Chains A and B, each alone.
Chain A
Amino acid sequence: MSTRVFEKWYREDRLPHIFCTGCGNGTVMNCAIKAVDTMQWEIDDTIFISGIGCSSRAPGYITTDSLHTTHGRALTFATGVKMANPDLNVVVFTGDGDLSAIGGNHFIHACRRNIDMTVICMNNMIYGMTGGQGSPCTPVGKISTTTPYGATEPTFDLAGLAVAAGANHVARWTSYHTKELTKAIETGLSTEGLSFIEAMVQCPTAYGRRNKLRTVTDMVEWMRTHSILLQKARRMEAEGKSIPEDFFTVGEFIHRQRPAMGVKR
């Protein structure tokens, strides 16, 4: 007997996947699959849906049925699937560009409708697949091929956006926090309505290389040291202190029971 990672869920004949050395997407897949496995969902009752991007390649490595759709439209296809057959368990993999740039409109409306699915966004703060253009999540001052002197625009706070638009469960973790991320996804899977999990991931190829985080471990170390627990950030805010630049919050942003659509009958 050997104990591979979730042999049941990975299409072993398709591995190794195409992600670059040390790309965080692979880690987020492990966490998502572990959470799905813990839920004891059946392969035939589960469907993974994605748009276009490196992150969106993920469903292709999973044994369940999957839809690899057009750029930005993962949530529209997922909405269709869920409304046509609410008995299916729907999980969406998407990227920061896919979800918040071209697909931004669908994102807010899926949250507003609160459709019963779990959306996992692998936020690498860049357009990875097309070679490193800036996305709505590229932090101010960071270099991409379209921001050669450093990005100047304010970024989207994806988790905050999902809370404001009405999602029932919202959390943010990183690919370093595998345990917490898995738990957050699991809570998302068991929550009725739209659950949004933002997973900050390293993209050593398109982001790290240009931003003085050359090695994979440098980028993961950066995420480890620059993430602040939400509770701590709120405490700091109450004390009138500001969160240092470059830092981001991690934790559970909201967990509520707004009325949802497409819930299993």
Chain B
Amino acid sequence: MKLKIDEQRCKGCNLCTTVCPYNIFQEGRKLNERGIIVPILDRPQRCTNCRLRHLYGRQLCGACQMICPDQAIYWVEEDPYSEESVVIEF
């Protein structure tokens, strides 16, 4: 799975940057076309849900998605040949 922020919904509150145990969300720097500074993702392939969702067959962690007041955080199925492959860190 691949972690995404929907730029059409995000209002840039930065709550996601405070809850992720891996600090994947980092405060953004650039305004987008809607005038919002959307957080940037630092190596999102580390996300628990990205790595293990298929193994467990259910949503894992999800702290960022639950606290996001704008329902902007979601995951998409990953293209198996994309460059950001799943890396399991121990």
Contacts and interface: CB of A to CB of B under 8 A. Distances in A.
Classify the secondary structure of B's interface with A: loop
Contacts of B76: 1-3
Given A1-B77, A178-B67, A217 B18 contact: yes
B21 interface: no
B75 A16 contact: no
A26 B65 CA distance: 11
Contacts of A4: 71, 74
B28 interface: no
Most buried by B among A3, A21, A23: A3
B6 to A, nearest CB: 8
A220 B71 contact: no
Q: For chain A, which range describes its interface: under 10, 10 to 19, 20 to 34, or 35 or more residues? A: 20 to 34
Nearest to B8: A16
Contact of B1 (A3, A15, A30): A3
B12 A31 contact: no
A25 interface: yes
Contacts of A84: none
Interface residues of B, number: 26
A54 to B, nearest CB: 12
B11 interface: yes
Contacts, number: 82
A163 to B, nearest CB: 27
B13 interface: yes
B15 to A, nearest CB: 6
Contacts of A221: 18
Contacts of B18: 217, 220-221
Interface in A49-79: none
Contact of A5 (B11, B14, B65): B65
A8 B65 CA distance: 16
Contact of B12 (A21, A178, A220): A21
Contacts of A31: 66
Given A15-B71, A16-B8, A217-B14, A30 B77 contact: no
A24 interface: yes
A216 B16 CA distance: 11
A16 B5 CA distance: 13
Contacts of A25: 69
B13 A175 contact: no
Contacts of A10: 71
A17 interface: yes
B14 A26 contact: no
B14 A2 contact: no
Contacts of A179: 66
A16 B11 contact: yes
Given A2-B74, A3-B1, A178-B63, A27 B11 contact: no
A222 interface: no
Given A3-B1, A19-B70, A27-B69, 20 more contacts: A2-B76, A3-B59, A5-B68, A10-B71, A16-B9, A16-B70, A19-B69, A20-B11, A22-B13, A26-B68, A26-B70, A27-B15, A30-B67, A175-B67, A178-B66, A182-B66, A216-B15, A217-B14, A217-B18, A220-B15
15 contacts: A3-B59, A4-B74, A5-B68, A5-B73, A10-B71, A16-B9, A16-B11, A21-B11, A22-B69, A24-B69, A26-B71, A30-B68, A178-B67, A179-B66, A216-B14
